[in-house]
Copies of this chain bind each other. A is one copy, B any other.
Amino acid sequence: MDNFTYFNPTRIHFGQGQIAQLTNEIPSDARILITYGGGSIKKNGVLEQVHAALAGRHFLEFGGIEANPHFETLMKAVALVKAEGIDFILAVGGGSVIDGSKFIAAAARYQGDAWEILQTYGSKVTEALPLGTVLTLAATGSEMNAGAVVTRAETQDKLFFHSVHVQPRFSILDPVTTFSLPPRQIANGVVDAFVHTLEQYSTYPVNAKVQDRIAEGLLRTLIEEGPKALANPQDYDVRANLMWSATMALNGTLSTGVPTDWATHMIGHELTGLYGLDHAQTLAIVQTAVWKYKLAAKQAKLAQYAERVFDLRDGSDEQKALAAIEQTEAFFAAMGNPPRLSAYGLGEEVIEPVAAKLTAHGHVALGEHTDITPEDVKAILRLAL
């Protein structure tokens, strides 16, 4: 096991009715900005619950934060924060709203051009407005970590930053808020959480038994519950299991003491930035292609994955690994995210632009061995045609 530091101070309130906890979690004299996305929270009763919990408080609202939140949109919120003396951000939505709100919280206190926050991966962030969240979609894990991804629409750049200063003070996770989501968002969330887990698992063995078992437990849970969530949208326990899986998948627990990959995410970000694919679609396209390209290096963990997640116990390690790849692709397809570029009307024309963007962003040594160059990415994408 590798050395690690683990620290996660976000307070989680999980379960039906927990939005009422906002009353206790936000200081009574706070000047609050409620941030949200396309407005579904006005239809499904979530915003009403938020208003009830904040009755008598000072708050403003900023809606319209899009999927893959745009720098341009978020800077409008930053201007509002400054003009209105906002001192608390309450993000109500999924990962895009929370990621965007982390950026707002940091940019509102940043001296200089806020785009630098992303160009320097958050290393220059020294303070941020306090942030709390009401999560309405199980997917990204942003509700319990210090990372965020923001897209500059103008230049098609999708970049990430980390800072302890934007870690949510609290997050409220009520599975009922996800009942009214469209099936595509549910399915995407399952694939996102699944690949978050794989990025921290499908590398090479370091004898980290607890971390492996937890990852395998999350993968099995997502495989079991994902299809049920699509079939029975009102099943509370299924939604609760998905929500807690997605949070646990990226709250720092899985990455303790183990190598991590993240090549799939880095390549996928460029596909979204350039071609507007859903984040989950890009993950489904790239994940198994990375495995095929790096089969020898990843074979031991993929064989373990085959045994413990899919109960595939026969054959050599290579045979088990290949069988697990097949099962994984079938799962992605069943969750509405087929694992090929062609399924989304894309082909060889994406290869050069994606490699060029990775180079421009300085992402030229990806994966747990930092040995995946833009040339390797081209080969990986050819395996995903």
Using CB atoms and an 8 Å cutoff, list the residues of chain A in contact with chain B. Answer: 1-18, 21, 207-214, 216-218, 220-221, 224-225, 237, 240-241, 244-245, 248, 253, 256-257
Contact = CB atoms under 8 A, between A and B. Distances in A.
Nearest to A14: B4
A1 B213 contact: no
Contacts of A237: 1, 207
B210 A248 contact: yes
Contacts of A245: 209-210
A17 B2 CA distance: 12
Contact of A3 (B17, B213, B221, B257): B17
Contacts of A253: 253
A11 B5 contact: yes
Copies in the assembly, this chain: 2
30 contacts: A1-B14, A1-B15, A1-B244, A2-B15, A4-B14, A4-B15, A5-B11, A5-B12, A5-B13, A7-B11, A7-B12, A12-B256, A14-B256, A14-B257, A15-B257, A209-B220, A209-B221, A209-B224, A209-B241, A210-B241, A210-B244, A211-B244, A213-B213, A213-B214, A213-B217, A213-B220, A213-B221, A217-B217, A240-B257, A253-B253
Contacts of A214: 213-214, 217
A208 B244 CA distance: 9
A261 to B, nearest CB: 21
B210 A221 contact: yes
A6 B210 CA distance: 20
Contacts of A4: 12, 14-15
Nearest to A238: B207
Nearest to A175: B1
Nearest to A249: B210
Contacts of A248: 210
Nearest to A211: B244
Nearest to A237: B207
A2 B8 CA distance: 22
Nearest to A215: B217
The 3 closest A-B pairs by CB, nearest first: A213-B217, A3-B15, A7-B11
Contacts of A13: 5
Nearest to A252: B12
Nearest to A21: B5
B9 A9 contact: yes
A6 B144 CA distance: 11
Contact of A244 (B5, B240, B241, B257): B257
Nearest to A1: B240
Contacts of A218: 210, 213
A221 B2 CA distance: 17
Contacts of A21: 5
A4 to B, nearest CB: 5
A134 to B, nearest CB: 15
A13 B4 CA distance: 6
Given A214-B217, A217-B214, A248-B210, A12 B17 contact: no
B3 A18 contact: yes
Contacts of A8: 8-9
Contacts of A6: 11-12, 14
Nearest to A171: B6
Contacts of A240: 1, 208, 257
B14 A207 contact: no
Contacts of A217: 209-210, 212-214, 216-217
